[in-house]
Structure 1
Amino acid sequence: MSELALVGIDLGKNTFHLHGQDKPGRELFHKKLSRQQMMKFFGNLPACTVGMEACAGSHFVARELMAMAMGHKAKLISPQFVRPFVKSNKNDFVDAEAICEAAARPTMRFVTPKTEVQQLLSMMHRMRESLVHDRTKVVNQMHGFLLEFGISLPKGPTMMKRLASILSEHELPIRLTVLLQRLHKHFSYLDEQIKEMDKELIGQLADDDLGSRLLSIPCVGPITASLLAAEMGDGKQYGCSRDFAASVGLVPRQHSTGGKATLLGISKRGDKNLRRLLVQCARVYMLRLKYQHGALADWVRSMLCRRHSNVVACALANKLARIAWAIAAHHTQFETGPEALAA
């Protein structure tokens, strides 16, 4: 075990498959252990590098290993980068060996383990997104039920305030009225839960230094700033601002060959919720462009003169992501410039 350099773990719910190798890549052991057995096993191992796929539970295991007295170094790898190293037939031990092969590559890209605070914020955002989805589903269902009986309403949740008057103005079956009232109660519950989560996110953002500085970016609100702080952290895991924008999927896909560069649409990799919020912030900025001043506003105006608004929205979202990385990495905040202050 003294020559042990790298251990690959194929994570599971209850059982974990381990593959250990030395620096030249020779196999030293492969084991199948439970969670308790695995932690006890690593507690007796000398300090080494541990590779895992970035999946459910991987951030917790990485934190536990790095917190051990032995001082293990945990590396998380995106599953798409492990797949090419799987040899022939696939099983758990082959996956663990492939993780070792991928982690040993000097040019491999790794995922930075999240802290507990980052994971909690990310879970809150996912739960809020699910609640918003359910609320929209309830509204659409009520629209559909009413349309079946010849009542057409405008889009959006505003008709919830008019539901009582709608039921009194039209003669609807009693059972349909009961169903609509049940849906309205469910909508009110979901709407209240979303408002409470918004208050919690805003309260946590007020205590977060990075989140408060991200709010200085124009048209970036509390929800986007909170999610940026949760997903980006201190930004040191990215070499430059473009790397962060690429991780969100806001850079063009490339299909170049023969010395001819061919750029396609945005790659849409990474967190789609964060990418959607950044694009929405960009669209809000464009809608309020006449009130904006500074170099960023001048750049957007020049882009709109020669590009479609959808293209400009994605380009501006890319620039907002880069600005957010610069604020996190250099511990600064957004400044519009002297001409904006004068205006």
Structure 2
Amino acid sequence: MEEVIRIGIDTSKHVFQLHGVNAAEQPVLRKKMRRREMIDFLAGHPPVPIAIEACGASHHWARLLNSFGHEVKLIPPQLAQPYVKRGKTDAADAEALCEAMSRPTMRYVPIKTAEQQAALMLIGMRERLIGKRTQLSNAIRGYAAEFGLTGARGLNHLTPLLERIQLDQGVPELAKDLFAMQAAEYEQIENQIVQVDEKLKAWHRADSRSRRLAEIPGVGPIGAMLLSMKAPAPELFASGRQFAAWMGLTPRNRSTGGRVRLGVITRAGDRILRATLIAGATSLLQQVRAGRGRNASPWLLELLKRKPPKLAAVALANKIARIAWKMMVSGQSFKRQNPEQPVSACAG
């Protein structure tokens, strides 16, 4: 076999398709392998650049193949798809990955360590538990309304509602037993959320960059952790705007013929990170509109006059992302220039 200079691998649970080319860009390796066979083959193969689609288990395979001496590149699926010639087959996907890696302007996903992936599990578990809690809370309120019982909005008013249900003589015993089961399930979810939050706080306190990012108004510990764990190396971005664009907080550009046409935000990048920053910005704007806090900068007040609240929240999240990028690049802490303009000020 001629010397292979580049390999693309289409991964799955058990079957792996390899596509390799030589120095003349001619295919010299087209082979489908089982998991063990692929590991043994690449363990004994001379070091070579390898492209893998950034998907499930891709970080594990990247770490493993890097340990064999190879240089693994993780390519986002949307950037590899244009190189698929026709149809959807494992061989076509592997060839597309091999071709995409040859492009000098190709962008790659940073490989996460096992510790980083464990920390990201905390974020995923917390989101799932909160969604489950919301779903259960809505179900309890819906069932209670069928018996003419309602409670005030907010999670704090759910327990008093459950207590009222148990004391109400008009609620059948069967229904009370079912409400008691739901109350026990709700308490279990609450305890699990508390445990996950404690682990998140411990991780946050141990990470210096996360602590610094949490000082930005509207970010908080969760947003700071997401920025630390999910964002690529800040040095990969030339400016804060590029970082905000990676996060999907910049307008979609549909310009043509010299005519500039901007649409809604692209919503590219990580959904959880983007949603968390927008939620933090929304909370900050609510405080400003209520006259609380020191974050009512002239820029922010003027923005609220010109834009609806949701658009203003997205614009503020964009600004927060740029500040976070500057802090991560410079390594400095958040600094308030003056009491009137705290959000727009950043060290460096």
Which position in structure 2 is the counterpart of 1:54? 54
Give per-residue Cα distances to partners, 1:107-152, cap 9 Å, x unaligned.
2221111122221121111111010111111111111111112223
Residue-by-residue CA offset, 1:161-198 (whole Å, 9 max, x unaligned)? 21213321342011100010000000000011001100
Amino acid at match of 2:275: R
- 1:2, 1:46 within 8 Å by CA — same for their partners in 2? no
Alignment of 1:33-72 (within 5 A): 33-68=33-68, 70=69, 72=70
Task: Say if 1:160 and 1:184, in contact at 8 Å, map to a contact too.
Answer: no
TM-score (norm 1): 0.93
1:121 to 112, 119, 122: 119
Partner of 1:24: helix, strand, or coil? coil
Unpaired runs of at least 5, structure 2:
343-348
Q: How far did 1:73 drift?
A: 1.4
Work out the percentage of aligned pairs sharing the same amino acid: 35
Q: Is contact 1:293-1:336 (8 Å) kept?
A: no
Question: What is aligned with 1:280?
Answer: 279
Q: CA-atom RMSD, angstroms?
A: 2.0
Q: For residues 314-333 of structure 1, what are the alpha-carbon distances to aligned partners after superposition, in whole Å with 9 as ceiling and x for unaligned?
A: 01101111111222222112
Cα drift, residue 265 of structure 1: 1.0
- Counterpart residue identity of residue 139, structure 1: S
1:265-276 matches, cutoff 5 A: 265-276=264-275
* Distance in 2 of aligned mates of 1:341 and 1:77: 40
Structure 2 CA distance for partners of 1:136 and 1:45, relative to 1, 3 Å: same
- Secondary structure class of the residue paired with 1:288: helix
Query: Corresponding residue for 1:192?
Result: 191
* Counterpart in the other structure of 1:75: 73
Shift in CA distance, 142/32, structure 1 to aligned 2, threshold 3 Å? same
Aligned-partner Cα distance in 1 for 2:285–2:17? 51
Map of 1:235 onto structure 2: 234
> What is the identity, as a one-letter code, of the residue corresponding to 1:254?
N
| Letter aligned with residue 167 of structure 1 | Q
2:143 matched residue in structure 1: 145
The correspondence of residues 195-234 of structure 1 with structure 2, limited to 5 A, is 195-232=194-231, 234=233
Q: Distance in 2 between the 1:7 and 1:297 partners?
A: 53
Instruction: Give the TM-score normalised by structure 2.
Output: 0.91
1:93 alignment partner in structure 2: 91
Cα deviation for residue 3 of structure 1 reads 3.3
2:346 is aligned to none
Name the aligned partner's letter for residue 44 of structure 1.
G
DSSP 3-state at the match of 1:122: helix
CA contact (8 A) 1:139 1:156 kept: no
2:345 alignment partner in structure 1: none
Corresponding residue number in structure 1 for 2:25: 25
2:337 matched residue in structure 1: 337
- Distance in 2, matches of 1:197 and 1:237, equals 31
Find the aligned partners of 1:239 and 1:128 in 2 and give their Cα distance. 33
Deviates more, 1:14-23 or 1:330-339: 330-339
Greater Cα shift, 333-342 or 87-96: 333-342
CA contact (8 A) 1:121 1:227 kept: no
| Cα distance in structure 2, aligned partners of 1:23 and 1:317 | 46
